[in-house]
Structure 1
Amino acid sequence: MDRLDEINAFIAVADQRSFTHAARRLGVSSAQVSKLVARLENRLGARLLNRTTRDVSLTDTGRAFLERARQVLEDFQSLESSVREQAGPHGLLRISAPVTFGTAELTPALLEFAAAYPDVSLDVSSTDRMVNLVEEGFDVAVRIGQLGDSSLVARKLAAVRMVASASPDYLARAGAPTTLEELAGHTAIIDTNVPDPSLWRFGVNGAPRDVRVEGRLRFSGAQACVAAARAGFGVTRTPAFAAAEDLRAGRLTALLCDFEPELIHLHAVYPHARHLAPKVRAFVDFLAKRYAGEPEWHKGWR
């Protein structure tokens, strides 16, 4: 096992071109990574890496060794996976999920999964930051919207509508916008968890139409925006799952539904692997089954 640890450390350093980044990826100290690589080089009697104060690069010997080392590690992981397949899903599953979706929708699903798979432990990180799954040691992430990392495997789980909404009290005072031009004159409650928060995208006859909005309340999260809209401060625009409960109860009114933009989607993403760990496969399959068909967050308010 020590030799596999050495090989794993060497591959991580070669991939990251940094002992520090390799240590972060492996969840150990830089000193431990350096020790493992040095021990490997001493045992082989060859220098595998060139080290400078600014960079780490492969020697010719290291480049040749890297290809074989990857194969050895993959073969060992395949062997482990074949045994795990027989044992069924188990072990620690580290999950990254967006804050609002995690609170509003994912937590009940996670509890159902935990009940169904008692041999799997869950470590769930709720963050709207785009985490690096490999470097930060996550097994799977739940993401909404555009996917930027093509090195990950993505499985589409469900569609998500963006919905503009306001409270009946606000609409009684300010009137309900029926056109996109009218919307621009209303007080907006802005969710800053998007690249251009003041630009709301709608659709007109299948073509995108952007509306520039203004407002004095800005929050980095859909839940706070929904709460402010519920309190009558203006019009907000959030994913449907954040507002669905208030829309169904009549505390909010959906606006401009005829100008719906292209749907965004919910995905489960995970790193490429020749043999997917049973715990990851079980979790992704569980989510796909749970969110199959029309999502609950689209029902009862349109």
Structure 2
Amino acid sequence: MNRIDDLEAFIAIVEHGSLTAAARRTNRSLQSISRSLATMEEAIGVELVHRTTRRSTPSEAGATFFARIKPAIDQINEAKLQAANQRLEPSGILRISAPVLFGPDFLVPIIVEYMRIYPRVEVDLQLSDGFVDLGAEGVDLAIRIGDLPDSSLRAKRLGALRRVVFGAPSYFEQRGRPAHPFDLNEHNCLIRNADERPAEWMFRIEGQPRTVKVTGTFRSNLMTSIYAAAIQGLGLGYSPLWQIRHLVDNGRVELVLTEFEPLLVPIHALWQDGRSSSAKVRAFLDMTAAGLALKDL
């Protein structure tokens, strides 16, 4: 056995709690795992794992050693896999999670082109606005909109989204156009009450992020209802631009206060350590980043 194999055996023992479980995980014999651990302890000169008949736990020195070598071994394995995959054509099943509204309009066209280029790949697209557990769900890649929570997942920024205020031409004919976010207190604002702070709209005023409280006579939990009400001239809506782009393009609504738009909302791809080394994942990341860069979001 080489030293990398011995290190991987030690890592498996710590992660799985016993030599027997480590042997199963690494597809090695129990004697081989035991020999690797003994070799490591002899070379370092300290006991790394406390053994009992039922459980193996790292010693204090073993826990410190594990914390230092685990990231290094992960990087070595990922580098080996990435090098091996350089010559491989993407193939297999690519499992993707994406937001419900964003997926069909923006990801599906990219997926279709991706599958034309790489016909050996099958795609399983799961649409959900919840934050899925990638490991538990067997997901290769998740597309998420908004700031990311702290996690052990890897991330790549793919683009960013605008948030805009909009209304129908008929509304502006009757009520005029707000020239400043503070003018919204004179307008009927359509409020999505499912938001965390439904009556607070974000803007950038004099270069600083500012929250403006709004009021209105119509509320709904679904943005589709907000859009319908805005089209009918009932009031002003506040939404990501990509969700109403078709309404803007066909003239059913118009944007206002564009010079006060808040900071862009990031779009990220998330994956577990090691997954990006897969040829199918790498190719999709590159194609998605390039595809979204061409969109006015």
Give, in whole Å, the separation in 1 of the partners of 2:117 and 2:291. 13
Structure-1 residue corresponding to 2:39: none
Spell out the pairing of 1:122-141 with structure 2 (5 A cutoff): 122-141=123-142
Give, in whole Å, the separation in 2 of the partners of 1:83 and 1:192. 51
Structure-1 residue corresponding to 2:220: 218
1:241, distance to aligned residue in structure 2 (A): 0.8
Structure-2 residue corresponding to 1:161: 162
1:154, distance to aligned residue in structure 2 (A): 2.1
8 Å contact from structure 1 (residues 226, 242) kept in 2: no
Change (3 A) 1:274 1:99: closer
8 Å contact from structure 1 (residues 89, 119) kept in 2: yes
Of 55, 58, 81, the residue aligned with 1:60 is 58
1:230, distance to aligned residue in structure 2 (A): 2.0
Gap runs ≥5 in structure 2: 1-7, 35-50
Greater radius of gyration (CA): 2
Structure-1 residue corresponding to 2:143: 142
Spell out the pairing of 1:1-302 with structure 2 (5 A cutoff): 14=15, 37=21, 40=24, 43=30, 59-60=57-58, 67=66, 82-191=83-192, 194-215=195-216, 216-220=218-222, 222-273=223-274, 276-292=277-293, 295-297=295-297
Could you tell me the percent identity over the aligned residues? Answer: 31
CA RMSD of aligned residues (A): 3.9
Matched position secondary structure for 2:255 = strand
1:290, distance to aligned residue in structure 2 (A): 1.4
TM-score, reference length from structure 2: 0.72
1:207, distance to aligned residue in structure 2 (A): 1.0
1:190, distance to aligned residue in structure 2 (A): 3.0
8 Å contact from structure 1 (residues 155, 267) kept in 2: yes
8 Å contact from structure 1 (residues 160, 240) kept in 2: yes
8 Å contact from structure 1 (residues 155, 269) kept in 2: yes
Amino acid at match of 1:157: L
Matched position secondary structure for 2:285 = helix
8 Å contact from structure 2 (residues 85, 277) kept in 1: no
Amino acid at match of 1:296: D
Change (3 A) 1:127 1:228: farther
Structure-1 residue corresponding to 2:37: none
Give, in whole Å, the separation in 1 of the partners of 2:192 and 2:13. 38
Q: Which moved more, 1:160-169 or 1:265-274?
A: 265-274
Give, in whole Å, the separation in 1 of the partners of 2:14 and 2:225. 42
1:40, distance to aligned residue in structure 2 (A): 4.6
1:201, distance to aligned residue in structure 2 (A): 0.5
1:12, distance to aligned residue in structure 2 (A): 12
> What whole-Å deviation, never above 9, does each CA across 1:92-134 have from its counterpart, x for those lacking one?
1111111221133222122121222111111111111122323
1:224, distance to aligned residue in structure 2 (A): 4.4
TM-score, reference length from structure 1: 0.71
1:278, distance to aligned residue in structure 2 (A): 0.9
Change (3 A) 1:258 1:69: closer
8 Å contact from structure 2 (residues 168, 230) kept in 1: yes
1:266, distance to aligned residue in structure 2 (A): 1.8
